[in-house]
Amino acid sequence: MSTATHNRAGLPVWMTGLAGRAGDAVRRWPWWLQVGALYLGARLVSACIFMAAALQQGPNPWFPAKPDYWNFINIWDARWYAEVVANGYPAVLPVDDAGNVQENTWAFYPLFPALARVLGAVTGLTPAVSLTVIAMLSGLGAALIAYSLFRLKAAHAPALWGVAFFATFPVSAILQVPYAEPLTILLLGTALLLVVRRQYLWAMPAVLLMCLSRPVGVPFAAMVGLLLLCRLVQRSLGRGEHSHSPRELAGLAGLTAFSGASALIWPVVAWAATGDIAAYTKTETVWRGHDLVPFKPWFDTGIQLFGPVLGVLAPFVFAGLFGMMLFLPPVVRLGVEMRLWCACYMGYLLVFLHPQTSTFRMLLPLFPLALGAALLSRSRAYRGTVLTMFVLLQLVWIVWLWAWAQLPGGGDYPP
């Protein structure tokens, strides 16, 4: 790519919407304005893809064919969050004639709909609009926090590129729809930022709210627990700059315990409200169609996709390749905290997740790897190619998974 297509910060001019002398002016903007402009530009691209896909949307369970943009983004789990805003959670788990628990709102964590309910009460907005506003503002906040986190490990230009990769990631369109992911990424990024700064006690409120937004508390607790162990070993070895003071170690130990307790809050609330100790787990597994068995779904899916031999090996190969990636030099530069988070979160997915099409969306909490991708090469050709591929794959994700199409067996693949 020629330098004429890039501003001096290294970003393509289409990401800023400016060229020539105006590009020089962009360099003088404060960092938060640069990040905000970049992020909003990426969301505009996603909005255009959504609108184009909506024109091709046929009959579906929610609205007539060819819906407008706002109706089109308020489908799938957005309808469940709107149900929580309007009617809350059931005191008794719904069951069928055979006593099997049916789909219900206990699978959807309360912080996101609670914020939307407050916004609606103050402004008079409908649940759908309130949820959309909260999601869009949270997505913008997540981009700003991601940049602040990246700047602890890299200079301005690669940090900005890391945000660009995050904002255009193939599933990044989820950041502007009424899902809890934008809010969770905002809170997760805040917690990671405070942990990297060793402000462990200040991280506790962010962790508590994060654990009420999406089920990410368990891997976060594992991450800070392993970090505590790592810091104890470093202190015992007298590792100078990495050594924690007793006060910092106490704060990290407190955060570990607090994170573990916070991860249990929502399952305990579901138990208290319904009288069923497994209310949350039963509800979560409804969408799987079977009980939770750690690791097994990955092998089942591997066998289904690759056959009985390669299918058994596939999860091990995937885990091994992911582990090797965490030791690549650009990823090592992220620091132990972000690398531990990525390892623990992927481990959590391998243990508990039933791999399906929604798995792509659940990879978004691995956003620190966006900085690693930006640090892999300073080549503008490389970075521009990654952005282009991300946008193209975003189009595939929206058309394939977000748009609803009737499958031969009924229903459709969830995004």
In 3D space, the residue among 138, 120, 128 whose CA is nearest the CA of residue 74 turns out to be 128
Identify residue 288 by its one-letter amino acid code. Answer: R
Position 293 scores a pLDDT of 84
First to last CA, the chain: 34
Identify residue 355 by its one-letter amino acid code. Answer: P
Range of lowest pLDDT (10-19, 165-174, 405-414): 10-19
Identify the burial level of 305 via C-beta atoms within 10 angstroms of its C-beta, where 0-12 means exposed, 13-18 middle and 19 or more buried: exposed
Asked whether residue 9 carries a pLDDT value surpassing 80, the answer given is no
Mean pLDDT (whole number) for 375-394 = 96
Position 296 scores a pLDDT of 87
In 3D space, the residue among 178, 136, 142 whose CA is nearest the CA of residue 402 turns out to be 178
Asked whether residue 235 carries a pLDDT value surpassing 90, the answer given is no
pLDDT bracket for residue 28 (50, 70, 90) = confident
Asked whether residue 57 carries a pLDDT value surpassing 60, the answer given is yes
Please, are residues 115 and 183 in contact by the beta-carbon 8 Å criterion?
Answer: yes
pLDDT bracket for residue 140 (50, 70, 90) = very high
Mean pLDDT (whole number) for 167-181 = 97
Q: For the chain, what percent of residues have pLDDT higher than 70?
A: 93
Position 412 scores a pLDDT of 84
Which residue would you say has higher pLDDT here, 41 or 354?
Answer: 41
Task: Point out which residues pair with 12 in neighbouring strands.
Answer: 6
For CA atoms 253, 256, 260, 262, give the dihedral sign.
Answer: positive
Position 326 scores a pLDDT of 97
Mean pLDDT (whole number) for 274-282 = 95
In 3D space, the residue among 317, 318, 315, 323 whose CA is nearest the CA of residue 299 turns out to be 315
Range of lowest pLDDT (54-58, 242-246, 385-389): 242-246
Position 12 scores a pLDDT of 53
Position 309 scores a pLDDT of 86
Asked whether residue 5 carries a pLDDT value surpassing 50, the answer given is no
Range of lowest pLDDT (111-115, 323-327, 373-377, 410-414): 410-414
Asked whether residue 290 carries a pLDDT value surpassing 90, the answer given is no
Position 239 scores a pLDDT of 65
Position 357 scores a pLDDT of 92
Tokens of 77: 């789990």
Position 1 scores a pLDDT of 44
Range of lowest pLDDT (13-17, 56-60, 267-271, 285-289): 13-17
| Mean confidence (pLDDT) of the chain | 92
Mean pLDDT (whole number) for 85-102 = 93
Position 23 scores a pLDDT of 61
Task: Point out which residues pair with 117 in neighbouring strands.
Answer: none
Mean pLDDT (whole number) for 220-242 = 86
Which residue would you say has higher pLDDT here, 373 or 15?
Answer: 373
Give residue-wise pLDDT tens across range 123-132: 999 999 999 9
Asked whether residue 16 carries a pLDDT value surpassing 50, the answer given is no
Range of lowest pLDDT (22-36, 56-70, 301-315): 22-36
SS3 95: strand
Cβ neighbours for 288, distance < 8 A, ≥ 6 positions apart: 297, 354
* H-assigned helices in 244-379: 246-263, 265-274, 279-286, 296-306, 310-325, 329-332, 336-352, 369-375
Position 404 scores a pLDDT of 94
Identify the burial level of 306 via C-beta atoms within 10 angstroms of its C-beta, where 0-12 means exposed, 13-18 middle and 19 or more buried: middle
